[in-house]
Amino acid sequence: MGSDRSGATVMGVPLLNASGCLDALAAPEVARTLDIFVTKTITPSPRRGNPPVRIAETEHGMLNSIGLQGPGLDNFVDHQLARLSALGTELWVSIGGFSADDFAVSCARLDEEDAVTAFELNLSCPNVEEAPETAAALVAAARGATRKPLYAKLSPAQWDIAASARAVVAEGADGLSLVNTIRGLALDEGLRPRLARAVGGYSGPALKPIALACVHACASAVDVPIVGMGGVATGLDALELVAVGASSVALGTVLFADPAAAGRIRDELATEAARRGFDDPLDARGRSVVGSE
Amino acid sequence: MRRERLRVVGNESVGPYVLVRLERGRLRPGTPGQFFMLEAPGRVLPRPFSLCLAPSGELGFLVDPIGPGTRAIAALAPGETIAVAGPYGRGWDLAVERPLLVGGGIGVAPLPYLSEQLGGAPAVLGFRTAHHAQAAALVPNAEVVLEPTLVTEALPDDPGDVLACGPEPMLDAIATLVPGAQLAHEAPMACGYGACYGCVVGRDGAYVRLCLEGPVLCASGGEQGRTGPAPTMEATP
């Protein structure tokens, strides 16, 4: 059992979509199966995205190279926000950009919107050039622009993710989203890259052990809510992320294969938790963190 | 959206291709050119297939087993079940006066169902080899050409209303000859319902999702909505 920011008691582990893995306007009935809908990353200006080929399945996951295709902040506010707020789920907006100012501009603009309950800061898209500033600097810029909760989405591709977690929390992040995809590459039979941009973000089942390690490391380092994600396909996968410290769980690649995954995973999660003696799956939170009781 | 586990009732070779027939369940066959996402056993992602045949109580898909996903689907035996979702996307606009069906290779897959809906309209089909051309038997009233002859060389001077599916170079050539043609495209696709942004094609200077705006697009571009009904999203199963 946990509590949301208003202090209300909520049973179970909230389920979200991973940003960029669901278009709630194209599939509202899928979005309504989630507790929280997270938008595809919004950047200040519209972005065309990367040229196709953009996706490639591999043996144990998939690569994507979408490149933050999106309508830009103005179009998002003018044409999408009202319809998203009518969905009936909690709404988080994923914020992206290429400078601290980009993050500040978007957070300030959306800070006025009551429908938006939190921001997820995409500090780690594998398909665009690295932001020139550090994750902590971007969080600080966003923090100065909004009082809404900020979740920092971190890349698993770093030597000491716990240090990053401490840094972003010190700058005002209220929570963490762990993990983004990790950069990967696949070749075709002629040994040419299968994606037009060669590299892409690797997701799916292969990401799960990496996500577990990252959540485990960060849960030991900071005491904030953690959205766990990476290769979740079953309720047991979700329970494992909770056990290493996640307080909610996001579904990504599994939604592509199974639009009804949230309902199934919620049921499986309750069953798997009960089998292990937990009345509420959230009671398992942190059980696997080294040093915890 | 509608998604069900369907039982395989038939698996037959058609030249190098495999016609996989499934019980229809409660899924609608949809408009010709619309597509379904079929679970590929053992793989992370499902695969998109347009409907090939819609015999009573069944859905038939023509599979070219060229990769691990299509091979897994082509290997399904009667009695096995897979998850199937659809129909998705926009199919062909069937309100045409003089339809001519044009297909190349595995692109003939949606033409049998299209032909049925259009009362056996004439067709021009192109294949690499006579072995591949066995699939022409699924399409009535078809003229068949083999490489090196191209389907565009077999088109009549006044082709009428062209409804085509095939490899992109073939579709490009048809678009040049017949700007009003309705072309069914193909793209790698993770989800089929607008979630992944993987299947985009360039259209009027932007990337649009083929799963929502297509897979059938007008060759001359711009005329979104010309080709069949908009995708419908039904109640979650």
Q: What is the pLDDT of residues A228-237, one digit of tens each?
A: 999 999 999 9
Would the pLDDT of A6 be above 50? Answer: no
Range A271-286 average pLDDT? 95
Would the pLDDT of B225 be above 90? Answer: no
Q: Please give the pLDDT value at position A43.
A: 96
Q: Please give the pLDDT value at position B90.
A: 97
Residue A118: in which H helix or E strand, if any? strand A116-122
What tokens does A274 get? Answer: 């009960």
Q: Please give the pLDDT value at position A11.
A: 66
Which has the minimum average pLDDT: A28-37, A126-135, A201-210, B54-63?
A126-135
* Structural domains of chain A ordered from first start: 2-49+68-182+204-284 (3.20.20.70)
d(CA A152, CA A172): 10
Query: CA triplet B18, B103, B87: central angle to 5 degrees?
Result: 65
Q: Is the CB of B201 inside 8 Å of chain A's CB atoms?
A: yes
Confidence of residue B233 (pLDDT cuts 50, 70, 90): very low
Q: Give percent above pLDDT 70 in chain B.
A: 93
Residue A203: in which H helix or E strand, if any? strand A199-203
Q: Give percent above pLDDT 90 in chain A.
A: 88
Q: Do residues B144 and B158 lie in contact, with contact meaning Cβ atoms separated by under 8 Å? A: no
Q: Do residues B145 and B124 lie in contact, with contact meaning Cβ atoms separated by under 8 Å? A: yes
Mind telling me how many Å the CA of B69 is from chain A's nearest CA?
Answer: 9
Q: Is the CB of B196 inside 8 Å of chain A's CB atoms?
A: yes
Q: Do residues A240 and A205 lie in contact, with contact meaning Cβ atoms separated by under 8 Å? A: no
H-type alpha helices, A13-160: 28-31, 73-75, 81-85, 100-111, 135-143
CATH code given to domain B3-88: 2.40.30.10
Q: Is the CB of B188 inside 8 Å of chain A's CB atoms?
A: yes
Label residue A264 exposed, middle or buried (CB < 10 Å: 0-12, 13-18, 19+). Answer: middle
**Domain-by-domain residue ranges, chain B?**
3-88, 99-218
CATH code given to domain B99-218: 3.40.50
d(CA A166, CA A61): 30
What tokens does A272 get? Answer: 């798997």
User: Residues of A numbered 16-35 whose beta carbons fall under 8 angstroms of chain B's beta carbons: which are they?
Assistant: 20-23, 26-30, 32-33
Catalytic residues of A, which ones?
A: 125
Q: What is the ipTM of this complex?
A: 0.91
B4 beta partners = B84
Confidence of residue B221 (pLDDT cuts 50, 70, 90): confident
Query: How many residues comprise chain B?
Result: 237
